[in-house]
Amino acid sequence: MYAGQQETNWVPRSFQEAARNLAKEVVKYFVRPNMIIGLGSGPMAASIVREMANFDGKETLECISTSFQIKLEAQCSGLKLVDENKIPEIDVVFDGADEVDAKFNMIKGGGGALLREKIVHSTAKQIVIAAESTKFVPTFSWPVPIEIHPFAIHILQFTL
């Protein structure tokens, strides 16, 4: 680290700048007062949440978080968090991509918030996935997890 450089943990500075610029555009074009907003997970979602803190009228927004990390970001940004009973009313969900291939196929949901993200995405009126250039790849290399909810485990045991 050189003099004057901010510590960035594992995220390169260029990503932070690109994510901040992309987040500004996302909030500018998609956020309106009185919306119910689903919040995905990961660094891109965190950038969007931080930008929503600057939204004029943020006190009218209601947010549903899919991950503990983004819940903390939203709380620190002064956003109002609501519980799952608002899921059927989600206006827009903001998330980041894991990988996007040359045909614009996308892998989304490779982490611990997979099930919650899929539920929130499935009910939202609009889904906005932001991806910086490093997420674009010729072919996928990201492992795709399969999540089995404990409630359904008995059904799957009979079909395996």
Supply the pLDDT for residue 29. 96
Q: How many domains does the chain have?
A: 1
Place of tokens 């007062």: 33
Q: What is the CATH number of the domain that holds 65?
A: 3.40.50.1360
Is residue 125 included in any domain, yes or no?
A: yes
The amino acid present at 119, given as its one-letter code, is I
Q: How far apart are CA 86 and CA 84, in angstroms?
A: 5
Is residue 124 included in any domain, yes or no?
A: yes
The answer for residues whose C-beta is within 8 angstroms of residue 40's C-beta and 6 or more apart is 66, 67, 70, 93, 94, 95, 96, 113, 117, 120
Query: In this predicted model, what pLDDT tens digit does every residue of 72-95 receive, in sequence order?
Result: 999 999 999 999 899 999 999 999
Instruction: Pick the range with the lowest mean pLDDT from 13-17, 30-34, 57-61, 74-78.
Output: 13-17
Q: Tell which wins on pLDDT, 148 or 81.
A: 81
Is residue 2 included in any domain, yes or no?
A: no
Range of the domain at 155: 13-138+147-159
Apex CA 126: angle with CA 120 and CA 128, to 5°? 85
Residue 98 gets which letter from DSSP? S
Region 38-59 average pLDDT: 94
Q: How far apart are CA 111 and CA 67, in angstroms?
A: 10
Is residue 7 included in any domain, yes or no?
A: no
pTM of the model: 0.81
Closest-CA residue to 63 (of 34, 43, 42): 34
Q: Tell which wins on pLDDT, 71 or 132.
A: 71
Is residue 5 included in any domain, yes or no?
A: no
Supply the pLDDT for residue 121. 92
The amino acid present at 93, given as its one-letter code, is V
| Rounded alpha-carbon distances, angstroms, from residue 47 to 67, 69, 84 | 14, 12, 23
Is residue 4 included in any domain, yes or no?
A: no
Is residue 1 included in any domain, yes or no?
A: no
- Annotated catalytic residues are 117
What is the band of 146 on the pLDDT scale with cuts at 50, 70, 90? confident
| Rounded alpha-carbon distances, angstroms, from residue 146 to 60, 73, 109, 112, 142 | 36, 27, 10, 11, 13
Is residue 63 included in any domain, yes or no?
A: yes
